[in-house]
Structure 1
């Protein structure tokens, strides 16, 4: 087993706590949960509503993946956290399906929670696998 690599990626949002954007070991890439934060101006207010926040969160996740030479096709598992689960679950699922079409959907857990950093409505993390990993 190799030693883990810790990645901080240019263009990704500034972390809201002490963590790396991603950690990688033996071809597995664990992408830290991303929020709908503006990666350029940290103090920018979060977008309004679950739709805009979900799209912004995916933008940030895609920035991290791209910085590692990966894409959504490499994602094998996701976790999503919603602060208003019953209100936002159906809308979130419809948006999520735009990013992961049928036949190419990773394993997923979706959790209702009572709060997220920055008062976000959604946070998503990924586990990805490099295609050339043994």
Structure 2
């Protein structure tokens, strides 16, 4: 058994960084710190937790947005349903509606398609 949580970093592929940042700011109310490393342009989600795992929007020739592959789940709200309703009204494609984990005992999830064509998950403790 691992002594630490295994996730240290997540990347969401983008082809248009400005469009992607605007999407995540508008729909998830996130703010970003921008960086460029070699050929990779990144918009790192700003959090108050400095030593925890984090996620960034990343633009790089080897990174292609997709509905396939790994799914990153973001925890951006305490109650998921109001956020999903707002996103749906704004035209965001919801792939998986509000879904309880173990009858809600472990929270709730949903999947949506971002501006770049990625399948992204949301998690919250309450519906």
Query: Which structure's residues are more often strand, by fraction?
Result: 2
TM-score by length of 2: 0.32
TM-score by length of 1: 0.31
Query: Which structure's residues are more often helix, by fraction?
Result: 1
